[in-house]
Structures are given as C-alpha cells and as structure tokens.
C-alpha cells in the first residue's frame, strides 16, 4: 500500500511578499489537491469547522475558511459553513459572529448542522462502544465535506484535531427526545455526573459555567443536575477544582467512542468525498468549547491538507511533538521535553490511542509522505 499524501505549508513567511504568506500557501495547496476532485458540480459542500465559545478565541481565522469557500465555489461547488450546537442555537450563531465567522466574512451561509434546537439527526451505526449515534442531518445529507480543524489539546483525548472535530462536532447535540446525544461519548453508558458532597465547597462555578442552566444548588445545599436538559458536555466537571463533580468514563472508552463517532460520520459519505485541513496554529491546551483560551503551547507550525484522516492526524501529532515548548505556556510550566508526546505531557492523556483506533476501524493509515509547499506560484505578470 502506498503512503497517504499530505500537503504541508510552514507557518513561517520568509519573504515580504503575499505569495509567501500562509494564506497564499493554503491557496496553492488547494490548487494542487484540486478541491473539485472531491465533489460534483453544483454539489452542496459542508465545510465543517468549530464556531468556538464565548471567551475561547483561538478558532480557525475567517480568512482561511474564506479561501476554502472561494476554492469550492471556483470549482463549481455550493459551500456552506457548518457546526453542531453546544449551547442554545441562536447563542451559538452569535458566538460564531463574535469570532468573525459569518456569511459576509466567509462568503457562504452559516448552517447549524443539527438545527437550531440541536436535535436534527439521522441515526447511524458506529461501533461496539456507542452502537447507533445521531449524525447531524446537514452533515449526514451533504454529498461532500471539507473538515477544517484547529488543532489543540483536549481534556478527554489529549488532542483535538480532525477526528475530534467530527467525533464530537458531527454528532447532534441531542436526540429526538431532547436528551444528550453527543454527550453519550463523554459518559459511560447510561450514567450521569457523580457529585461528591464531601469535596464540594459550594462555590457554584459549575452552576455558572453550564450553558443550559442544567445544574443548580438546592435549598438543602445539594448540587443537582436536570437530565431533561443536560447535554452531558462535561464543562461543569472541567471547572470544578475540588474533584467534587466526576464524569464516569475511562479514557480508553472515551477515545475509542470518539473515533467510532467520527467513523460513523465519515461512513455517510461516498469514498473520496472528504478533504481534511488541519491548522497547527495557536495550539492551546484546551478545547475551543471552553470559556477561555490559554496561551499557545508551541509556536505556529502551519497547515496540513489530506484526504486521509488518520494520516493527517498522525502527521499533526508528529510535527507538534518535535516543536519547542513556548515560555509562559502550560508546556513550559510542565517542563515539556520536545521529541516526546507533547499533549501527553500537558494533559496526562494519550492522543495516540484514538488515532490508532481510527486506523483499526479502517478510516485511513498512519504512513504518510509530506509534500512541502513553500510559496504560492506567482502568475507571470507578477514576476517582476
Ligand atoms: S464547582 Fe465543584 S466545588 Fe464548586 S459547587 Fe460545583 S461541585 Fe461543588
Ligand atoms: S454536563 Fe454540566 S455543564 Fe454540561 S449541560 Fe450538563 S450540567 Fe451543564
């Protein structure tokens, strides 16, 4: 079997010239891969990215998404930019807008893939851990997709790239009954948050951070959760400093579930209909769902493009592993050693596990060849 191809453009721009900018290099890569190969003329093309959160400001910048939109339009496709809801739908579109992501800036409509109320889905078989999972309908029904991922750390999987972007982000927030669907990946089967009263200081940070008002303090000073509206996002447990709120889930099960969910999403497309773009920029330790963003762990590395999700994730991890940790970051704080798994040293999790499992599921292969793109080809009239 031949290695998978990955196009890579370094984030450094060594000439004072647009053609050496990362934006221009992305244009060049999109030309070289020929995005038109991934859809038919007039096809709807889902451009899946993460819209971010209030306080989390390190999502992929609009200019890069706009270049992808432009390339799709030039090749005859009909792009729409999409994500699934994490907080109530209208607020989520407001978040996107506050990140600079909107129809005007991107040149394509913004669509909530699981609908305004986060429960438009089609159930699809995923794997032994999750069984059926609800794929957001606009992703399920789209004939082709370009997955644009901001690569960063993640509390459950250590690393959030393309697998995480689909494994969480292509899944409907809720099921048809309005109960947590995506959250089933965070929690072991049919379980909820475990509250440990002996550790709890009743600080109410968990109450304040919940985007759905699903967790509250009772008059009897108990912390309770309303599972009719809780989407099992785990945010409340993340902010609890006392280990008084526990998400009952093993790391291995979470990581495998994540890959199974991504697998289910990918299976809804014909072969050769998905392209992946991973940005290794502003690699912070937390997911873009969090209400903040820490300083980057490493210097910006660049952008990768491939149609093999496993290969692109592996290449991303390999590049990140070799990068120098930045001062004033969590990487420096943890005395990270370059050449060893960075996210493991920062989060204690094992990102390789979900990449390996994705390969086991047949989603792609870890062997790749890197094709380096150093600049955009200049048109003749500009070569002066
Ligand atoms: S954040 Fe933790 S310690 Fe604070 S109220 Fe919630 S459970 Fe208790
Ligand atoms: S997991 Fe916690 S933060 Fe998330 S919806 Fe449920 S109660 Fe709210």
Residue 295 sits in a domain of what CATH number? 3.40.50
Answer yes or no: is pLDDT of 14 > 80: yes
Do 158 and 229 lie in one domain? The reply is no
Ligand having the closest approach to the CA of 194? 1
- The string of pLDDT tens digits covering residues 109-130 is 999 999 999 999 999 999 999 9
Q: For the chain, count helices (H), then strands (E).
A: 13, 16
Residues 285 and 369 in one domain: yes
Strands 44-48, 78-83: pairing is: parallel
List the structure tokens of 125: 């078989």
Statement to judge: residues 105 and 206 lie in one domain: no
Domain hosting residue 214, numbered range: 192-246
229 and 145 in a single domain? The answer is no
Say if residue 66 is in the same domain as residue 214: no
Residue 95, token pair as written in the block = 């978040």
Q: Based on C-alpha coordinates, what's the Rg of the chain?
A: 20
Say whether both 203 and 254 belong to one domain.
no
For residue range 290-301, what is the model confidence (pLDDT) as tens digits? Answer: 888 999 999 999
229 lies in the same domain as 364: no
In a domain, 179, yes or no: no
pTM given for the model: 0.96
Residue 189 binned pLDDT confidence (cut-offs 50, 70, 90):
confident
Is residue 154 domain-shared with residue 204, that is, in the same domain? Answer: no
33 — phi, psi (to 5°)?
A: -75, -20
pLDDT-derived band at 131 (thresholds 50, 70, 90) equals: very high
Has residue 306 been placed in a domain? Answer: yes
Of the listed ligands, the closest to the CA of 207 is 1
Q: For the chain, how many residues are written?
A: 384
- Listed residues 246, 280, 309: the one ending a domain: 246
- 226 and 280 fall within a common domain: no
Does the structure show a pLDDT above 90 at 154?
yes
The answer to which of 164-168, 188-192, 270-274, 337-341 has the lowest mean pLDDT is 188-192
Boundary (domain end) residue, out of 246, 265, 289: 246
215 in any annotated domain: yes
Mean pLDDT of 8-16: 96
- Phi then psi for residue 184, to 5 deg, are -60, -25
pLDDT in tens, 203-256: 999 999 999 999 999 999 999 999 999 999 999 999 999 999 999 889 999 999
Q: What average pLDDT does range 77-92 have in this prediction?
A: 96
Q: How far, in Å, CA of 253 to CA of 234, rounded?
A: 15
> Same domain, yes or no, for 235 and 268?
no
Ligand 2, atom 6, lies closest to the CA of 230
- Model confidence over 333-348: pLDDT tens digits? 999 999 999 999 999 9
Is 357 domain-assigned?
yes
Does position 381 have pLDDT exceeding 90, yes or no? no
User: CA-to-CA distance for 217 and 257, rounded, in angstroms?
Assistant: 31
* Total domains in the fold of the chain: 2
Which residues have CB under 6 Å of ligand 1? 200-206, 223, 240, 242, 244-245
Mean pLDDT, rounded, of the chain: 96
Percentage of residues of the chain with pLDDT beyond 90: 94
Within this chain, do residues 84 and 60 fall inside the same structural domain, yes or no? yes
Given ligand 1 and candidates 209, 221, 245, 291, which is best to mutate, with the most ligand atoms within 8 Å of its CB? 245
Say whether pLDDT at 108 is over 90. yes
Confidence band of 169 (pLDDT split at 50, 70, 90): very high
Q: What is the mean pLDDT of residues 158-164?
A: 97
Confidence at residue 384, expressed as pLDDT on a 0 to 100 scale:
62
186 belongs to a structural domain: no
Please identify, among 246, 262, 285, the residue that sits at the C-terminal boundary of a domain: 246
Residue 350's pLDDT is what?
A: 97
């Amino acid at each position: 079997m031949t290695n998978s191809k990955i196009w890579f453009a370094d984030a450094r721009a060594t000439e004072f010239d647009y053609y050496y900018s990362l934006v221009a290099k992305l244009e060049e890569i999109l030309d070289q891969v020929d995005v038109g190969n991934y859809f038919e003329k007039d096809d709807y093309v889902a451009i899946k990215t993460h819209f971010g959160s209030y306080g989390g400001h390190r999502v992929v910048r609009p200019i890069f998404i706009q270049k992808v939109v432009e390339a799709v339009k030039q090749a005859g496709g009909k792009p729409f930019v999409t994500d699934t809801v994490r907080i109530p739908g209208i607020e989520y579109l407001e978040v996107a807008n506050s990140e600079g992501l909107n129809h005007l800036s991107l040149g394509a409509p913004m669509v909530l893939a699981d609908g305004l109320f986060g429960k438009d889905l089609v159930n699809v078989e995923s794997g032994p851990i999750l069984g059926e999972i609800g794929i957001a309908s606009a992703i399920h029904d789209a004939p082709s997709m370009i997955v644009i991922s901001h690569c960063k750390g993640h509390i459950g999987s250590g690393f959030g790239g393309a697998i995480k972007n689909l494994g969480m982000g292509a899944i409907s927030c809720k099921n048809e009954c309005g109960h947590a669907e995506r959250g089933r990946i965070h929690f072991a089967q049919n379980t909820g948050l475990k509250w440990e009263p002996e550790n709890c200081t009743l600080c109410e940070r968990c109450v304040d951070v919940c985007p759905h008002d699903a967790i509250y303090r009772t008059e009897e000073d108990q912390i309770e959760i309303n599972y009719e509206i809780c989407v099992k996002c785990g945010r409340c447990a993340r902010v609890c400093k006392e280990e008084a709120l526990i998400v009952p889930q093993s790391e291995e099960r979470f990581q495998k579930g994540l890959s199974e969910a991504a697998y289910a999403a990918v299976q809804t497309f014909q072969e050769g209909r998905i392209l992946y773009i991973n940005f290794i920029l502003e690699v912070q330790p937390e997911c873009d769902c969090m209400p903040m963003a820490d300083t980057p762990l490493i210097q910006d590395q660049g952008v990768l493009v491939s149609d093999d999700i496993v290969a692109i994730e592996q290449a991303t991890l390999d590049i990140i592993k070799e990068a120098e940790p930045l001062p004033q970051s969590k990487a420096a704080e943890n005395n990270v050693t370059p050449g060893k798994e960075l996210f493991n040293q920062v989060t204690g999790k094992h990102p390789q596990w979900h990449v390996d499992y994705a390969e086991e599921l047949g989603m792609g292969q870890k062997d790749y060849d890197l094709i380096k793109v150093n600049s955009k080809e200049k048109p003749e009239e500009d070569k002066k």
